[in-house]
Homo-oligomer: A and B are copies of this chain.
């Protein structure tokens, strides 16, 4: 019943590592990859040509790059997500009404994944990106509606790593904050993820299960005080409620 962290298929690990490396570097050559990872050139070559014949990688004039195959898979899985389907139009309205950045987030293991965003300019995280649940308003909103045991397990397993000096790192603080989030159906993030961003979020709870969260964020100097705590918070929580109804 312990964690068997043994990765069985090592070749898969290598291949996916190559994919991630190609992503991070926005294309790379064989030797560059072989040096970066600790694998021989020939191994990298084998994986690359395999991935190429499978259509995930292409070789544009010398450097290997990822193809848009990932876009198809990524978009497709998002499109099928019922929460995304239900939230789409509501997020759009929210962005228009708040004149700020509106997000939809869903939980995935220990992370809050940004499935949708409208109105973004220089938001710290892009669509498809993720943050640890405790480090953002939307994540906390989700965490608040999980069982106490589940929260304990989360903290035990992943800790409370700080993203800024305002991130919640104390277990007791988190607990009491989650309680108040549960009471008011609203979570706030005042520079806990990015010092210059503030955010209000409300969970989407279906059948007792927090399946996502809606959030609106903006630069700290604009999004604060009454505008954050009353105007934005109200719109966010009513948007979440609308989505919940849609999902029944």
Contact = CB atoms under 8 A, between A and B. Distances in A.
B128 A54 contact: no
A79 B26 contact: no
B9 A108 contact: no
A66 B77 contact: yes
Number of copies: 2
Question: Interface on chain A toward B: helix, strand, loop, or mixed SS?
Answer: helix
24 contacts: A7-B50, A7-B53, A8-B46, A8-B47, A8-B49, A9-B46, A11-B11, A15-B16, A16-B56, A55-B109, A68-B78, A68-B108, A70-B73, A70-B77, A70-B128, A71-B113, A71-B127, A71-B128, A72-B74, A72-B128, A72-B130, A73-B128, A74-B75, A76-B126
Interface of A: 5, 7-16, 19, 23, 26, 46-47, 49-51, 53-56, 58, 65-80, 106, 108-109, 113, 115, 126-130
Contact of A53 (B5, B11, B15, B76): B5
A50 B71 CA distance: 22
Nearest to A3: B53
A213 to B, nearest CB: 15
A42 to B, nearest CB: 10
Contact of A12 (B12, B68, B71): B12
A26 B58 contact: no
Contacts of A23: 73, 76-77
A121 to B, nearest CB: 13
Contact of A68 (B13, B49, B58, B113): B113
A9 B47 CA distance: 6
A182 B8 CA distance: 53
B80 A70 contact: no
A247 B113 CA distance: 32
B73 A19 contact: yes
A62 to B, nearest CB: 16
Contact of A50 (B12, B55, B115): B12
A191 B73 CA distance: 27
B126 A50 contact: no
